[in-house]
């Protein structure tokens, strides 16, 4: 690839980095972008630098393994994710990794947000949810590469963010932007649906305590259930304490699944949200 083309790619990365910031798809110094050049080397955003204020010379050139070439700076710590995506998708030219608020919020539910709007159906394309792994690790890169290889073009990463790939930066940016809009629409629809169905009342959905207690396999998980049950059933449950107990219950594999299905019931979430709104 000629120096002129590399220059234009550096400039394009700066432009799309600023767009990601303006759209609220990244914050602080989060998020990263890469472009693969024709010779197999990569142009990667640097570590520790906000995408809102990049200059073309800030972009780091690496070899195909993500190792910075002589005279370059330090690439993003997420470079293993980018390298893994290129390894399984030889046709793609770029990877965009962001931390969009609503996508991250949905990722914590363990499932994808609904995708039934016209925009999502017509333009979002293939998307998948991937389980949590620590940022910048080989484990995370492998998990994401398995999804990209299916092939999937966008992945919602549990408790982390969103990664999209494409033939060009415009395609990856649009997928990222649309995924966040879809997640926000579905959150709003969920909230409106709950508000329509329920007013402020004390019609608590019973916790399937006996079922969960029978599924528990040790004293610690039973104690967590008992603490949650006691707080949930009290005259004035505390929102913060309730969430703390819920997190404890979800940490035990034997009861996590059935508890989560009950916890995510819109009626339960409506009651919990009311506790927060009323300061209880």
**Catalytic residue ranges:** 78
- Residue 155, strand partner residues: 128, 163
Exposure pattern of 158-175 as b/e (b: 16+ CB <10 Å)? bebbbbbbbeebebbbbb
Taking alpha carbons only, the member of 209, 214, 221 closest to residue 262 is: 209
For residue 153, what are its two tokens?
A: 């073009």
**Residue in the block written with tokens 């640097």:** 46
Q: Hey, is 156 helix, strand or coil?
A: strand
β-pair type (60-62, 42-44): antiparallel
What's the burial of 50, exposed, middle or buried (CB within 10 Å: 0-12/13-18/19+)? middle
Euclidean distance between CA atoms 52 and 234, whole angstroms: 48
Q: What distance in Å separates the CA atoms of residue 280 and residue 270, rounded to the nearest whole number?
A: 14
């Amino acid at each position: 690839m000629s120096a002129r083309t590399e220059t234009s790619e550096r400039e394009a990365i700066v432009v799309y980095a600023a767009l990601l910031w303006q759209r609220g798809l990244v914050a602080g110094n989060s998020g990263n972008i890469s472009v693969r050049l024709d010779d197999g080397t990569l142009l990667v955003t640097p570590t520790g630098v906000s995408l809102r204020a990049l200059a073309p010379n800030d972009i780091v050139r690496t070899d195909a393994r993500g190792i910075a070439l002589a005279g370059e700076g330090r690439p993003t710590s997420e470079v293993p994710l980018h390298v893994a995506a290129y390894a399984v998708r030889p046709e793609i030219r770029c990877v965009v990794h962001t931390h969009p608020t609503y996508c991250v919020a949905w990722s914590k539910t363990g499932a994808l947000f609904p995708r039934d709007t016209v925009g999502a159906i017509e333009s979002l394309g293939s998307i998948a949810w991937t389980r949590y792994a620590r940022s910048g690790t080989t484990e995370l890169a492998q998990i994401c590469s398995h999804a990209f290889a299916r092939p999937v073009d966008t992945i919602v990463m549990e408790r982390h963010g969103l990664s999209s790939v494409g033939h060009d930066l415009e395609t990856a940016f649009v997928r990222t932007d649309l995924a966040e809009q879809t997640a926000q629409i579905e959150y709003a629809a969920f909230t409106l649906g709950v508000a329509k169905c329920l007013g402020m009342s004390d019609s608590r959905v019973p916790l399937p305590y006996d079922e969960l207690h029978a599924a528990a396999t040790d004293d610690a998980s039973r104690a967590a259930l008992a603490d949650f049950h006691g707080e949930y059933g009290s005259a004035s449950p505390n929102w913060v304490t309730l969430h703390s107990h819920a997190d404890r219950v979800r940490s035990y594999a034997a009861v996590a699944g059935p508890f989560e299905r009950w916890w995510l019931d819109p009626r339960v979430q409506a009651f919990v949200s009311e506790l927060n709104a009323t300061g209880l």
